[in-house]
Chain A
Amino acid sequence: MAVNLEIKLGPLELAHPIINASGTFDVLAADKALEEDLFVSFPFAAYIPKTVTLQPRAGNPPPRLQETAAGLLNSIGLANHGIEAFITEDLHRLESLPVPVIASIAGEETEDYGRCAAMLDSREEVAAIELNVSCPNVELDGRALGLDPEKTRQATVLARQATSKFLIVKLTPNVTDIIEVAAAAVDGGADCVSLINTVHGMALDRYSLKPVLGHVTGGLSGPAIKPVALRAVFLVSRELDVPVIGMGGVTTAQDALEFMAAGATAVAVGTASFRDPLAAAMAPELGRLINEHGIGSASELIGVAH
């Protein structure tokens, strides 16, 4: 029996629950390397480009990457060409994708979220907006705005005032109580929360015993953080009434199955796409697993672990 994989994420009707994590799959760059392979079987049911900011950002000094045990540390630092270039250069190219586009924005201060959201509000190519309040690589101590529930609420309020689009707030796990921050986002007008962004971490060079990353500290992703992410998705989705996008170390269809059971409505694949650019093509296998568990559809799987 075929399992219905379609899910609703607010106004977005997705063919299946698998999307990408922002910053891990640049379809415009990958297009050059993968060409038609990519478009014949586009693995994501919605596409989130890399986070953009009001002004262009060069990003952090290299080295920006270090692999760790079943994980990846990065300190990219939100390198992007700015929201204006995103709107004038990227958006129309993304329009040819067979799936909805969710723009991702970040700011250095809460007001930036309102300004960026306002710039995207009239763009039909943008189906929803993700507020990235959780990039750990902007300040040395990882002081993302999303560490503070009140600032998270304020940023969401300002974006909410600027747009009627579906608003997703992407949360950091680097807090004492992620439920409190998630609740603040929802109180500010978020339609959905997305979690988790990377976990604070660092690595030392084995010979020099100095920090490997040019930015000294970074964010950890990959299979190593899956249990951390699963817990956060479980707790937040149990407490709040908005849909949750789950991510953090999702590598296989079994991982996606578990995130949905923990309460995620959609599941994002990130670092696994670096391992294999078509790793996210896991929807058919997810359907098979759902069926194996005697569950009739993807939407019925959501939160069965609660």
Chain B
Amino acid sequence: MDAGLIPAELLKCAVVESRQVGAYRLISFVAPQIANLAHPGQFLMIRMSGNELDPLLPRPMGIHNVESDLVTMLIDPVGKGTARLAAAGIGDRVSVLGPLGMGFRFEGEAPAVLVGGGIGISPLKLLARSLAAEGREVRCLLGFRTRKEAVATELFSGVRTDVITEDGSVGRLGLVSDPLPGCLAREPGKPTPEIFACGPSPMLAAVARIARECGNAAQVSVEAHMACGIGSCQGCVIRGAGGYLRVCNDGPVFDVEDISWQ
């Protein structure tokens, strides 16, 4: 599949589903064009429609899922912008630009190990579905702080899933990276497993270190504050191996070797 840049459009879309999933809010809206074009790991710039100036800018969010005409997002209401989106009711309109950025690249037949931390699990849903549709073996490691966030594991029904919580309230106690090395060995007759990860920076750094130590290819989806989402403002940069990289246009998904992890 092509993970490249695809024409994007600012759309005003009606919310048709809004429900709580543990600590997170799940909203769906009708956007046939985005649903049709979205590649796993791509993101949208999204805000409530209207003239409100605070919050001012749209928020970048990974696409959680698409289903016929519907696009679904998972929201962690941590700040003003996300809280406002999480409060969207059915019939409210959201303004959406996307799909944007370079998503996960997948070729070949290697078993896929998906690693998600907190709200970083969101884009792994569409990824897990797409990989499975291509006949890839998929296993998810989903890490959360507590039981409240871990409720979102229900969104991954039908996928082989291990849950890890920092307080041990559900699943294994510890960090999501703890069981990762045990999932990376090459099985006879199969290619070496490939890692796809999304989550907070310390988690991604741990994934990068483990991937290097165990000799597995790994792609990570990075989060950054953005103003435009389309390469204009140069605000979302991270340190790359050869200089700054724009998360919006060069990413948000990067090969671990392309990022400077110091």
Chain A to chain B: the 5 pairs with minimum beta-carbon distance, closest first = A29-B231, A65-B235, A274-B227, A33-B230, A26-B232
Q: Do A76 and B235 contact each other (CB < 8 Å), given the known contacts A29-B230, A275-B58, A278-B10?
A: yes
Between-chain CB contacts (< 8 Å), 24 pairs: A23-B232, A23-B233, A25-B232, A32-B249, A34-B7, A34-B9, A37-B9, A59-B244, A65-B226, A67-B55, A69-B54, A72-B57, A74-B235, A76-B233, A76-B235, A79-B234, A222-B53, A222-B56, A223-B53, A274-B227, A274-B228, A275-B57, A277-B10, A277-B230
B56:A223 contact, CB within 8 angstroms: yes
Which parts of A37-77 form the interface with B (CB within 8 Å)?
37, 50, 58-59, 62-67, 69-72, 74, 76
Which parts of B199-246 form the interface with A (CB within 8 Å)?
224-239, 243-244
The number of chain A residues with a CB under 8 A from chain B is: 39
Measured CB to CB, the nearest residue on chain A to B231 is: A29
Given contacts A26-B233, A50-B234, A62-B244, 7 further A-B contacts (CB under 8 A): A24-B232, A33-B231, A62-B224, A62-B237, A65-B225, A70-B53, A276-B10
Q: Do A72 and B53 contact each other (CB < 8 Å), given the known contacts A34-B7, A275-B58?
A: no
Cβ of A152 < 8 Å from any Cβ of B?
A: no
Contact of A275 among B56, B237, B249 (CB under 8 A): B56
B236 cross-chain contacts in A, Cβ below 8 A: 62, 64-65
Cβ of A251 < 8 Å from any Cβ of B?
A: yes
Question: What is the CA–CA distance of A24 and B231 in the complex, to the nearest angstrom?
Answer: 10
A63 cross-chain contacts in B, Cβ below 8 A: 224-225
A64 cross-chain contacts in B, Cβ below 8 A: 225, 234-237
Contact with B along A239-274 (1 / 0, CB 8 A): 000000000000110000000000000000001011
B170 cross-chain contacts in A, Cβ below 8 A: none
Question: What is the CA–CA distance of A79 and B235 in the complex, to the nearest angstrom?
Answer: 10
B95:A26 contact, CB within 8 angstroms: no
The number of chain B residues with a CB under 8 A from chain A is: 37
Main secondary structure, interface of B, reads loop
Q: Do A59 and B234 contact each other (CB < 8 Å), given the known contacts A33-B7, A274-B228, A276-B10?
A: yes
B243 cross-chain contacts in A, Cβ below 8 A: 58
Which parts of B1-28 form the interface with A (CB within 8 Å)?
5, 7-10
Cβ of A304 < 8 Å from any Cβ of B?
A: no
B249 cross-chain contacts in A, Cβ below 8 A: 29, 32
Cβ of B198 < 8 Å from any Cβ of A?
A: no
Question: What is the CA–CA distance of A275 and B81 in the complex, to the nearest angstrom?
Answer: 12
Q: Do A30 and B233 contact each other (CB < 8 Å), given the known contacts A59-B244, A62-B238, A275-B56?
A: no
Question: What is the CA–CA distance of A29 and B230 in the complex, to the nearest angstrom?
Answer: 7
Cβ of A35 < 8 Å from any Cβ of B?
A: yes
Main secondary structure, interface of A, reads loop
B232:A35 contact, CB within 8 angstroms: no
B227:A72 contact, CB within 8 angstroms: yes
Q: Do A74 and B227 contact each other (CB < 8 Å), given the known contacts A37-B7, A58-B244, A276-B10?
A: yes
Cβ of B97 < 8 Å from any Cβ of A?
A: yes
A275 cross-chain contacts in B, Cβ below 8 A: 47, 56-58
A74 cross-chain contacts in B, Cβ below 8 A: 227, 233, 235
Most buried by A among B47, B224, B234, B249: B234
Cβ of B100 < 8 Å from any Cβ of A?
A: yes
A223 cross-chain contacts in B, Cβ below 8 A: 53, 56
A24 cross-chain contacts in B, Cβ below 8 A: 228, 232-233
| B84 shortest CB reach to chain A, Å | 12
A32:B232 contact, CB within 8 angstroms: no
Question: What is the CA–CA distance of A300 and B249 in the complex, to the nearest angstrom?
Answer: 42
Measured CB to CB, the nearest residue on chain B to A62 is: B237
Which parts of B69-89 form the interface with A (CB within 8 Å)?
80-81
Question: What is the CA–CA distance of A29 and B5 in the complex, to the nearest angstrom?
Answer: 11
Question: What is the CA–CA distance of A223 and B7 in the complex, to the nearest angstrom?
Answer: 29
B238 cross-chain contacts in A, Cβ below 8 A: 62
A33:B233 contact, CB within 8 angstroms: no
Q: Do A71 and B56 contact each other (CB < 8 Å), given the known contacts A33-B100, A65-B225, A273-B228?
A: yes
| B231 shortest CB reach to chain A, Å | 3
B233:A65 contact, CB within 8 angstroms: yes
B10 cross-chain contacts in A, Cβ below 8 A: 276-278
| A109 shortest CB reach to chain B, Å | 24
Measured CB to CB, the nearest residue on chain B to A76 is: B234
Contact of A70 among B56, B97, B239 (CB under 8 A): B56
Question: What is the CA–CA distance of A22 and B8 in the complex, to the nearest angstrom?
Answer: 23
Contact of B8 among A23, A33, A50, A69 (CB under 8 A): A33
